[in-house]
Amino acid sequence: MTVLTENLTGVDLLAEIARLKKERNAVILAHYYQKPEIQDLADYVGDSLELSKKAAATDADVIAFCGVKFMADTAKILSPQKIVILPDMDAGCSLEDSCPPEKFKAFREAHPDHIALTYINCSTEVKALSDVIVTSSSAETILAQIPLDQKIIFGPDRHLGGYLSRKLGRPMLLWPGVCIVHEAFSETELLKLKAQNPGAPIAAHPECPPAIIDHADYVGSTSGILNFAKTFPGDTLIVATEPHIIHQMEKAIPGKTFIGAPGADGNCNCNICPYMALNTLEKLYVALRDLQPRIEIEEGLRLAAKKSLDRMLEMAAGTVGKGDLGAR
């Protein structure tokens, strides 16, 4: 974790961020799992695919990425001429950590007749070793375009891979990674919550284990879940993904109740992504002021990783919102 040593007492952070944003011609991109105060000042809030597209299309000189490192790396891979800053360079991801490039390379070499379809939650090196990248909102559409007789390695999220395999009846070799946040939901506690709120549907992210997915009325990416929240007919929704997304739901649909799905003790903070939580307004201000910490990627590696990302953008074209994983 980056620890700020300077005293920022007395700095009007919101005013300073707005001033620096203009001065630097910067765009602020934020994922739905960011703290509400960051979501509220961002130019765009979105899921991984939407933010990648924004990063590729922006004409800003600086991209301030309020998310985790693989997302900021993706912005730099797609927009190398821009300065990309991440408020806390230690904002990683358990899925990325689960998939060291040397081990992934060896796994690929052991299965030469397989292609690698890889979740965007991975390092730039793993993207460079992959054939096609997917996000949770584009995975199904992309998988449907791959010939049925083509063998596939899917990594690093075994729950997303398993969900896709089950839904599409398509066997894939799964890398054994998990998201520590979605892994922490408790089926027992979820059923207790459901009993207390009979009739409330459950919306779950496909990074959840099957025991949670099996109870879900809707499974999809963060954007998909948000769309479901805007359209479901009841008044209460149980949300099985990182709870900061509830901020967008409460803003968009103020009359309804959104309850975060519980972890093992029924009331823990274990479903808050500890990596996403490292970004703060203070760190965003310092990053915009100093244009540091900055993402740098060696050009050969960037070009290799860009191939699999470009393939994702081509294959997912026009799918945001409708090519989602959808209802089970």
**Interface residues toward ligand SF4, by CB under 6 A:** 33, 68, 93-95, 121, 179-181, 207, 242, 273, 275-276
- The H or E element that residue 133 is part of is strand 132-134
133 or 286: whose CB is closer to ligand 13P? 133
Examine residue 88 and tell whether it contacts ligand 13P (CB under 6 A): no
Say how many C-beta atoms besides its own lie within 10 A of residue 298's C-beta: 9
> What is the rounded distance in angstroms from the CA atom of residue 71 to the CA atom of residue 7?
29
Q: Which stretch binds ligand 13P (CB under 6 A): 79-87, 129-137, 161-169, 191-199?
A: 129-137
- For the segment 66-85, give every residue that binds ligand 13P (CB under 6 A): none
> What is the rounded distance in angstroms from the CA atom of residue 86 to the CA atom of residue 279?
8
21 or 158: whose CB is closer to ligand SF4? 158
Q: Minimal distance in Å, beta carbon 279 to ligand 13P?
A: 13
Say how many C-beta atoms besides its own lie within 10 A of residue 14's C-beta: 13
Residue from 58, 121, 186, 279 binding ligand 13P (CB under 6 A): 121
Q: Binds 47, which of ligand SF4, ligand 13P, none (CB < 5 to 8 A, cut-off by type)?
A: ligand 13P
Examine residue 222 and tell whether it contacts ligand 13P (CB under 6 A): yes
How far is it between the farthest Cα atoms of the chain? Answer: 63
Edge-to-edge strand ranges of the sheet holding 151-155: 132-134, 114-119, 151-155, 173-174
Q: Binds 8, which of ligand 13P, ligand SF4, none (CB < 5 to 8 A, cut-off by type)?
A: none
Examine residue 138 and tell whether it contacts ligand 13P (CB under 6 A): no
Q: What is the DSSP letter of 262?
A: P
Calculate helix-pair angle for 299-315, 69-78, nearest 10 degrees: 90
What residues line the site for ligand 13P (CB under 6 A)?
47-48, 121, 135-137, 179, 207, 221-222
